[in-house]
Amino acid sequence: MSAPARKPVHLAVYDTLADWETGHATAYLARAGHPVRTVGPSTAPVRSVGGLRIQPDLALADLRPEDSALLILPGADLWDTSQDLAPFARAARAFLDAGTPVAAICGATAGLAREGLLDDRAHTSAVSFYLAATGYGGGEHYTDADAVTDRGLITAGPTEPVAFAREILGLLGVYEGEVLDAWYRLFHDSDAQAYDVLEKAAAR
């Protein structure tokens, strides 16, 4: 009997999204059998900060937490320059309320701060004063760490895409324990010995 199909992971896409922040996560989620679907403000194409044109698979209005394994929110200039992405922060609230996890990196953490989602959760971002500028109420829960997971919400700063992916892969059970640690050491530290651990795990 074949294994049941995994729920898709939804990657939010919008103009000015930061290309480099989610690639490690989405690549290894897909390799593990999680379909990755893009969700935009609408189904109209968007363009990343690096100039990539992306055609969303579905519009945000059609996204339901029960149909998803995870919502990933990358950073984008628009998080800090307009209210255009506020609907994605509200979607994150709906996901968390439904028990479906959310992962936010870089500017998306500020969007979640404005939505009040970091007021009572441990979290991180680029730097503490970046989030403080939003006027949010969660400053006492800010953690100086590469990435933080608390009650289904992952946060990370813009320089930590590998740690961000580590938290996502661990949360969804793609890798665990020493294998997850080895994956992180390989891609973050270029640790050749970590490759041996991954090779042995793949051969099991």
pLDDT at 202: 86
* Residue 4 pLDDT greater than 70, yes or no: no
Average pLDDT, the chain: 96
106 is annotated as an active-site residue: yes
How long a stretch of residues is the chain?
Answer: 204
pLDDT at 1: 46
Determine which one of 60, 105, 106, 174 is catalytic: 106
Tens digits of per-residue pLDDT, 6-44? Answer: 899 999 999 999 999 999 999 999 999 999 999 999 999
Q: Torsions phi, psi of 152, nearest 5?
A: 85, 5
Q: Torsions phi, psi of 80, nearest 5?
A: -105, -5
Q: Enter the pTM of the model.
A: 0.96
Tens digits of per-residue pLDDT, 170-200? Answer: 999 999 999 999 999 999 999 999 999 999 8
- pLDDT-derived band of residue 3, with 50, 70 and 90 as boundaries? low
Is 144 within 8 Å of 160 (Cβ atoms)? no
